[in-house]
Amino acid sequence: MKSCALPLALLVLSLSLGCNRSRQVDMAAVSQPRASLAEYSPTSLERAKLPAGSVAAAIGGVPGRAAYIPQADKKVIHTAELSLVVDNVEEASAKIRSFTLRADGEIDQARIWSLSEKTREGELHIRIPAEGLESALKQIKAVALRVTNEQLNATDVTRQFADNAARMHSLQAEEQQYLQILKQAKSIQDILDITEKLTDVRTQIEQLQANIDLMSHDIAMSLVTIGLSQNAPVSESLGGWHPLLNARRSFKNMVENLGDWIDAIISFAIFLPVIALWILTVGGIVWIAWKLFRRFQRVPEKTT
């Protein structure tokens, strides 16, 4: 009987210890304070600074919107510069503009100016869909007699584009979290504070969206800068030397400089009365000061 009592006592002791331990765990869980609405105020949310990925997880995702995953493909902005010599600048400019519109492109700028009565130059800034840039450049160069300069540039903006997309995703998640907090706000002050934060976040979203749209447009539509110069007439060209054209340009520069000199003389003549008044004013003040100085010097001599 004594041999059976010892194992039975050990069994009862172990059961009592297990019950006490489970009771302590339950009491610790009950004693922990529950999160209140004050912990989710705008101040505490701003202090939390959750990472971009955890914000969406915290609010359970944006309703009705799939989670954004940045694309792995490269984002490259292509630009090109061409300098073309053509027979007629107006006709070449018209052909390039017509081709640009047919290719679903855009015309940012087109201007033409004269160097002389028979010599003109022009410049165009057009945008061509990036996927058809090489083909478009070939057709544009076909308008020219010769190409004096051709330059192609490519700028990789993949990282910048991905950073903007990730920041946009984070701001949108933050906006949704503020909306959730706004639904639970009870005091007017909390509503005003949350609304202020929400307005600030939405302003950042709009500014960032404008940058993303501009970068996306530059990626999709390549900028092509085209300089047009008219081919010099045969009578004015001697083996690549253009004496008459150079003489006309020099004469034009001389006339412009002469005009500037005449304008300066006219301006001086118009302002001459004002200059004379200033000279008389300053001279009169100096003369009066000199007279007073001389008078004060003579007074001590008379007294002595």
Give the start-end residues of each E strand in the chain.
76-86, 106-114, 120-129, 146-156, 221-230
Tell me whether residue 240 is in a domain. no
Report the DSSP beta bridge partners of residue 107.
126
Q: How far apart, in whole angstroms, are the C-alpha atoms of residue 230 and residue 112?
A: 11
Q: Tell me: the pLDDT tens digits for 231-257?
A: 765 544 555 566 666 776 787 788 888
Q: Is residue 207 part of a domain?
A: yes
CA nearest neighbour of 44 among 34, 33, 36: 36
* Residue 255, in any domain of the structure: no
Query: How many domains in the chain?
Result: 1
Q: What is the pLDDT of residues 95-145, one digit of tens each?
A: 999 999 999 999 999 999 887 767 789 999 999 999 999 999 999 999 999
* Any domain includes 162: yes
Q: What range does the domain containing 44 cover?
A: 37-231
In a domain, 5, yes or no: no
In whole angstroms, what is the distance from residue 282 CA to residue 285 CA?
5
Q: Write down the pTM of the prediction.
A: 0.52
Structural domain contains residue 152: yes
Closest CA to 174 of 203, 213, 212: 203
| Under 8 Å between Cβ of 59 and 201 | no
Rounded CA gap, 115 and 236, in Å? 14
Residue 52 lies in a domain: yes
Run of H or E residues at 51: none
From residue 224, how far is each of 19, 96, 97, 105, 162 by CA, in Å?
Answer: 81, 11, 12, 11, 26
Residue 244 to residue 115: CA distance in whole angstroms: 12
Higher-scoring residue by pLDDT: 297, 125: 125
Asked whether residue 25 is domain-assigned, the answer is no
